[in-house]
Structure formats: structure tokens, C-alpha cells
């Protein structure tokens, strides 16, 4: 954004966390919200665009409303999955909602939001080149399988998932000595973090290539829950999905907050368990290894999953989400 000419008031990337892990940064974000509110009151702003993160952006949208500024939400808060009681707050704070999942348009429209589906920005441009092509597994040899490992882009995800993902890989290699692994880092800084936390007995190639390009060349992926799962799906790559949570907090409130049958974006879009998800993952990697081994032994199932993943993601990449959102912005400014 800075390269595109944006004036940055604050860079929060290094503090990106989810769920209860955000508590340690609460003072910082409280001060940031106050600072942004003061900026909105003291400067001429025609439109506030907030992206994702409702826990933070509801406060920003509220400050914008108090300052008499219209708001657009880009990437809908996933309150259709959990925290549905927040729909009233979203109606009050949002003038236009740009959603990136097809199921969201009808859900929010039925609840009184001015909403438009713009496509998914992660899919922009993926139709070019190799396009959306399912993998072929007719000649697949599990003993020589190539695995992509995606431990996430946040330090908090790496802290909780990187070690168990490596343990899973070590277990797989014991059964398949010629298997190879490539781990994707979002940038050079994260790549060094991953290398520093590599466990004994684990070997892999490290890459900062895109998720899609890496998984197009892989036979299977082990992925942290999040937006990367859609990119892996767009490559037609079968996967297992993991996310770590506090066992105590999950049993106390997690099961009550979540209102969807599945937790991963891929399975939510499919309306069924298209790929195995271990969410929340607590401690034992045994069920995950067993799930992977079952799939590796079933070529037809792998091919079936690959075809289904392409079916799910191809519609998300029709057109350019960025261009559609830009057009919505222009229309709001001209209105």
C-alpha cells in the first residue's frame, strides 16, 4: 500500500494474531483506535474502507460514523460462522459490504445489508497460465510423494503449528523414505524464523514462491487454516488442514460460538468434508498422520478431491476482485 502511494498511519503486520492470543496486544490496539479516531475527526475523509478483522474494524467504523463518514467493509466479517449476534452492529456501521465468498451475498442480503460479491482477491490472475487444472493420480507413487507444508504467515501460527507439522513429516518419511517436502514462507523474514525452529530429523526445501505455484507441483499439502487453504484448493492439491487452539477455551466457549458444521473455508464452501480438517488441533498428531496415510493409499480418492477443489475455487476467480472493489469505491464517492 505504501508503494501505491498510501500514507501509513501504523503498520500492524508484526502484531497479527487470532483468537485469545490477541489479548497481549490489547493496549496497543486501544491506543491505535484512539489515534485513528482523532485522525478521522481532524482530517477531510470521504470514505473509510475497512478490511477483514471485525474485532478491530468495528471500532474504526464506529469512529467513522461518529465523524459523519461513510464506510465500506471489504472482506465480510465471518459472523455467519460464529458471533451471529453482531449482525445488528454491522448493519449500523456498514454502508456497503463487499464479500469474497459466494455464500455470503445471500446470507447478508437477507439480514438487511447492502452487499455485493466481488470475487476473491486471492484468486485474481490464477486463471492465467496453468489455469485451474485438477491433478492426475493414475501413476502416483506414494513412496515418492512431494508434500507442501504451509505453517501460516503469522508468528503465532508458526509457534503453534510448525513443530507438529514437522513431526508429521518425520512420521511420513519413516513410511515413505523417498518422500520430499517443501515449506513455503511468506517472506525472507519468516523463512529464517522457520529455519531457526527446524527440529532434528526433519529435512525440507524452503521456498518463498507463491502458495499456488508450490502446490501445483506437490502431490499433497499440510496447511494451516486460513486463506492459504483456498489457494491450495485452486491448485487442485489435496490437503489436511490444521489449527491449534486452547483445549480449555474451546470446550468452554469455542463450541458455543461456532455455528457452522465445518471450520475450514474449503469445507464450508463445499458443504461437506472435502478434505480432512483438524480444527481445533490440540496435541496428538497421530490422527493427522493416519488420515494422510489413508489418502496416500487411495489414488482415486486423491483425484476425486483434486477435481472437487477445482470446482469449488474456479468460480471465485472469475474477473478481478480488485477492479470490482475499485468500481464500488468510485460509485460510492460519486453518490
Is 62 contained in some domain? Answer: yes
Residues 6+ apart with CB under 8 A from 280: 243, 244, 245, 247, 250, 254
CA distance 296 to 278: 17
What is the pLDDT, as a whole number, of residue 250?
Answer: 47
Is 264 contained in some domain? Answer: yes
Domain shared by 221 and 324, yes or no: no
Domain shared by 153 and 289, yes or no: yes
**Residue 13 pLDDT > 90, yes or no?**
no
| Burial (Cβ within 10 Å: 0-12, 13-18, ≥19) of residue 282 | exposed
- Output the CA–CA distances (angstroms, integers) from residue 135 to 65, 216, 233, in the order listed: 49, 8, 11
Q: Is the peptide bond before 161 cis (omega within 30 degrees of 0)?
A: no
Domain count, the chain: 2
pTM of the predicted model, to two decimals?
Answer: 0.82
What whole-number percentage of the chain has pLDDT above 90?
62
CA distance 279 to 292: 15
Per the structure, the complete domain to which residue 264 belongs is given by 142-316
Name the more confident of 184 and 154.
184
Average pLDDT for residues 141-147, to the nearest whole number?
A: 96
The three grid cell numbers given for residue 186, joined into one nine-digit string: 511468506
Is 135 contained in some domain? Answer: no
Domain shared by 214 and 146, yes or no: yes
Domain shared by 97 and 108, yes or no: yes
Domain shared by 147 and 114, yes or no: no
**Residue 289 pLDDT > 90, yes or no?**
yes
Is 134 contained in some domain? Answer: no
What is the pLDDT, as a whole number, of residue 245?
Answer: 57
Q: Angle, nearest 10°, between helix axes 188-196 and 155-175?
A: 60
CATH number of the structural domain spanning residue 155: 3.40.50.2000
Domain shared by 270 and 303, yes or no: yes
Domain shared by 76 and 192, yes or no: no
Domain shared by 79 and 165, yes or no: no
**Residue 255 pLDDT > 60, yes or no?**
no
Is 50 contained in some domain? Answer: yes
Domain shared by 263 and 285, yes or no: yes
Average pLDDT for residues 160-178, to the nearest whole number?
A: 95
pLDDT in tens, 184-226: 998 899 999 999 999 999 999 999 988 999 999 999 999 998 8
Is 189 contained in some domain? Answer: yes
Domain shared by 256 and 323, yes or no: no
What whole-number percentage of the chain has pLDDT above 70?
88
> In 3D, which of 28, 29, 25, 5 has the Cα closest to residue 17?
25
Is 330 contained in some domain? Answer: yes
Domain shared by 280 and 330, yes or no: no
Domain shared by 223 and 95, yes or no: no
Is 132 contained in some domain? Answer: no
Amino acid at each position: 500500500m505504501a508503494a501505491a502511494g498510501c500514507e501509513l498511519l501504523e503498520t500492524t503486520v508484526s502484531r497479527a494474531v487470532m483468537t485469545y492470543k490477541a489479548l497481549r496486544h490489547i493496549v496497543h490496539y486501544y491506543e491505535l483506535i484512539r489515534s485513528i479516531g482523532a485522525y478521522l475527526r481532524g482530517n477531510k475523509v470521504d470514505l473509510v474502507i475497512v478490511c477483514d478483522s471485525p474485532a478491530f474494524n468495528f471500532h474504526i467504523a464506529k469512529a467513522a460514523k461518529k465523524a459523519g463518514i461513510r464506510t465500506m467493509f471489504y472482506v465480510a466479517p465471518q459472523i455467519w460462522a460464529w458471533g451471529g449476534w453482531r449482525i445488528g452492529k454491522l448493519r449500523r456501521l456498514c454502508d456497503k459490504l463487499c464479500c469474497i465468498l459466494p455464500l455470503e451475498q445471500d446470507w447478508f442480503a437477507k439480514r438487511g445489508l447492502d452487499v455485493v460479491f466481488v470475487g476473491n482477491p486471492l484468486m485474481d490472475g490464477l486463471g492465467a497460465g496453468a489455469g485451474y487444472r485438477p491433478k492426475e493420480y493414475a501413476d502416483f507413487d506414494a513412496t515418492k510423494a512431494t508434500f507442501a507444508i504451509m505453517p501460516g504467515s503469522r508468528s503465532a501460527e508458526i509457534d503453534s503449528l510448525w513443530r507438529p507439522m514437522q513431526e508429521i513429516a518425520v512420521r511420513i518419511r519413516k513410511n515413505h523414505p523417498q518422500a520430499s517436502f517443501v515449506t513455503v514462507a511468506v517472506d525472507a523474514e519468516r523463512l529464517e524464523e522457520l529455519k531457526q525452529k527446524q527440529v532434528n530429523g526433519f529435512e525440507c526445501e524452503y521456498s518463498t514462491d507463491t502458495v499456488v505455484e508450490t502446490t501445483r507441483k506437490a502431490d499433497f499439502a499440510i496447511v494451516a487454516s486460513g486463506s492459504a487453504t483456498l489457494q491450495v484448493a485452486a491448485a487442485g492439491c489435496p490437503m489436511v488442514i490444521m489449527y491449534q487452539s486452547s483445549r480449555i477455551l474451546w470446550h468452554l466457549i469455542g463450541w458455543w460460538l461456532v455455528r457452522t458444521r465445518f471450520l475450514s473455508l474449503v469445507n464450508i464452501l463445499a458443504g461437506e468434508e472435502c478434505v480432512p480438517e483438524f480444527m481445533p488441533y490440540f496435541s496428538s498428531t497421530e490422527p493427522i498422520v493416519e488420515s494422510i496415510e489413508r489418502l496416500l493409499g487411495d489414488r482415486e480418492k486423491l483425484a476425486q478431491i483434486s477435481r472437487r477443489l477445482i470446482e469449488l475455487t474456479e468460480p471465485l476467480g472469475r474477473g478481478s476482485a480488485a477492479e470490482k472493489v475499485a468500481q464500488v469505491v468510485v460509485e460510492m464517492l460519486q453518490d
